[in-house]
Amino acid sequence: MASPTDQLTDEALRTLRRVFGYDTFRGNQREIIDQVIGGGDALVLMPTGGGKSLCYQIPALVRDGVGVVISPLIALMQDQVDALTTLGVRAGFLNSTQDLDARRRVESAFLAGELDLLYLAPEALRTGSTVALLDRGDIALFAIDEAHCVSQWGHDFRPDYLALSMLHERWPTVPRIALTATATSATRAEIASRLKLEDARHFVASFDRPNIQYRIVPKREPRKQLLDLLRTEHPGDAGIVYCLSRASVDKTAEFLTQNGIPALPYHAGLDAVTRATNQKRFLREDGLVMVATIAFGMGIDKPDVRFVAHLDLPKSVEGYYQETGRAGRDGLPSTAWLAYGLQDVVQQRKMIDSSEGDLAHRRGLAAHLDAMLALCETVQCRRVQLLAYFGERATPCGNCDTCLSPPESWDGTVAAQKLLSTVLRLHRERNQKFGAGQSIDILLGRKTDKVSQYGHDSLTVFGVGTELSEADWRAVVRQLLAQGLLAVEGDYGTLVLTESSRDVLSRQRQVTMRREPTRTASGSRTPTS
Ligand code: ADP
Ligand code: ZN
């Protein structure tokens, strides 16, 4: 005879078919759904597009009571509720954007047991009235969406998420399911401890997105490189271009539009109406390019985003993975393209040094940046390196730039010694610190005004590096930074030695470097006509 749990899980399959119109569960959806229906807690890590929503929607429909979903995506709640309503699911939301009438209606539906799902903004749980409301209703489960928002290291940190540990204290018998597309084991551990999900079963799906082609190219003229990429490989395609600053977003959107590529800007400096309009247009119209800061994208479900381009270095591998993950949700080939240069490193170090927070916090940020740099400068498969960061092992993918046109590696030990000893001499002999530009000018033997002014042409290293070009030297600096053999600090991005620099200077350590294969500016292998 079937046990009561079996019957319930069959109910899950029937619900999948009847309500959502799908035949079978995907990946580990089935196990997750069984766990929650059975009353257990779950921590779910699944890449974007993996199908997280069903993991709480189906248990909410199968179990008695209302499934309460905590989500930071207030702007998308209406859309989510509308989509569920068309499927015949009884859903509502409570957040600060709605008027009193709408709120009352949702509240009474909740109390009358006439809702299957109730979406709440995290801040709602800070108000006594919402907590009191929940106390009076029958709750099937709590789903905590975008659970990485509880992580103080991540760029999506929301202080209100910290208070969600109260769910367990107040409603100890209600199962909780936390979901995120952020994948490191550190983030996972942080979510579990902060949300008091120590006893939750963990469900970790593979984070590989095989249809996304990863490419990272040296930044020269980023907007032109981007244009080249879009014209040669993505004409008429929808995509997202991420920039660090609002000003750069505006400029880039304008530049693309002037060059015949329809583009819209999105950043926190635009008024709410413009932002909402641009977002809607991007979702509904074909072939639009959204140029945005990272304020854009969480929860955006547009299946046919064909490319995600970064004109500036993301702050962490997690950020990079999340942002690039918005490409190709439909499973079709898509491009993740990043242009990065030395200036990015200098700028980000500066931001870290001047950021609020204690030393531990700044160290955390610096470690994130270092991992991102290591991904940029790797000589191995990007996907292997990316998945390794998330604790997954993989074999070379054949669908990233290093697999498609392997960079040569070269013995950069002598170059590294020259560069490091320039930094050392400036410091030891002159008690000075400079940025990369000055050291490179010295190595190339250039008598610039600044070189003459400081008498740097009398250093023994002056002119000893003419075998490499300026671009080569910049690549050397980037790679030394990525390998932790050099560091930048301060407002001017001055170069300083690290503990490990000495090993290179004393010839105890060899340095292998990546030589960029000859490619077009956008990194495509088909030359522009
Ligand atoms: P996530 O929240 O993990 O990014 P979604 O829950 O939005 O992903 O699901 C991504 C897409 O996959 C949606 O269009 C959803 O309807 C679809 N989907 C989810 N589960 C299944 C399934 N078992 N069979 C077919 N399609 C599914
Ligand atoms: Zn690869």
Per-residue pLDDT of the chain (529 residues; tens, 9 = 90+): 456 656 666 899 999 999 999 999 998 999 999 999 999 999 999 988 789 999 999 999 999 999 999 999 888 888 899 999 999 999 999 988 889 999 999 999 999 999 999 999 999 888 888 999 999 999 999 999 999 999 876 668 899 999 999 999 999 999 999 999 876 778 888 999 999 998 999 999 888 999 999 999 999 999 999 999 999 999 999 999 999 999 999 999 999 999 999 999 999 999 999 999 999 999 999 999 999 999 898 778 898 999 999 999 999 998 999 899 999 988 899 999 999 998 999 889 888 888 887 887 888 888 889 889 999 998 889 999 999 888 788 899 999 999 999 888 899 999 999 999 999 999 999 999 998 999 999 999 999 999 999 999 999 999 999 999 998 998 899 889 888 889 888 777 789 998 889 999 999 999 999 887 665 556 654 433 2
Tell me how far the alpha carbon of residue 90 lies from the centroid of ligand 1, in angstroms.
19
Label residue 245 exposed, middle or buried (CB < 10 Å: 0-12, 13-18, 19+).
Answer: middle
Could you tell me whether strands 66-70 and 91-94 are parallel, antiparallel, or unpaired per DSSP bridges?
Answer: unpaired
Output the CA torsion 502→504→508→509 (10° steps): 130
Our mutation pick for probing the ligand 1 site, out of 14, 20, 330, counting the most ligand atoms within 8 A of Cβ, is 20
Q: Which residues contact 42 (CB under 8 A, 6 or more apart)?
A: 32, 35, 36, 55, 175, 176, 177, 178, 200, 201, 202, 203
Asked if residue 52 has its Cβ within 6 Å of ligand 1, the reply is: yes
For residues 306 and 254, give the distance between their C-alpha atoms in angstroms, rounded to a whole number: 21
For residues 158 and 72, give the distance between their C-alpha atoms in angstroms, rounded to a whole number: 8
Helix/strand/coil (H/E/C) assignment for every residue in 392-457: CCCCCCCCEHHHHCCCEEEECHHHHHHHHHHHHHHHHHHCCCCCHHHHHHHHCCCCCHHHHHCCHH
For residues 157 and 429, give the distance between their C-alpha atoms in angstroms, rounded to a whole number: 45
Our mutation pick for probing the ligand 1 site, out of 32, 53, 332, counting the most ligand atoms within 8 A of Cβ, is 53
- The answer to whether residues 62 and 35 touch, using CB atoms and an 8 Å cutoff, is no
Q: Whose CA is nearest to atom 24 of ligand 1?
A: 22
Asked if residue 410 has its Cβ within 6 Å of ligand 1, the reply is: no
Helices (H), 196-340: 222-233, 246-258, 272-284, 317-324
Asked if residue 302 has its Cβ within 6 Å of ligand 1, the reply is: no
Say which residue the tokens 């002159």 belong to: 430
**Sheet with strand 201-204: strands edge to edge:** 91-94, 117-120, 66-70, 139-144, 176-180, 42-45, 201-204
Asked if residue 304 has its Cβ within 6 Å of ligand 1, the reply is: no
- The ligand with the least distance to the CA atom of 51 is 1
Label residue 32 exposed, middle or buried (CB < 10 Å: 0-12, 13-18, 19+).
Answer: buried
Q: How many residues does the chain have?
A: 529
The minimum-distance atom of ligand 1 relative to the CA of 301 is 7
For residues 392 and 479, give the distance between their C-alpha atoms in angstroms, rounded to a whole number: 24
Tell me how far the alpha carbon of residue 382 lies from the centroid of ligand 2, in angstroms.
5
Asked if residue 376 has its Cβ within 6 Å of ligand 1, the reply is: no
Amino acid 526: pLDDT: 41
Question: In this structure, what DSSP letter does residue 145 have?
Answer: T
Asked if residue 321 has its Cβ within 6 Å of ligand 1, the reply is: no
Asked if residue 26 has its Cβ within 6 Å of ligand 1, the reply is: yes
- The answer to whether residues 329 and 52 touch, using CB atoms and an 8 Å cutoff, is no
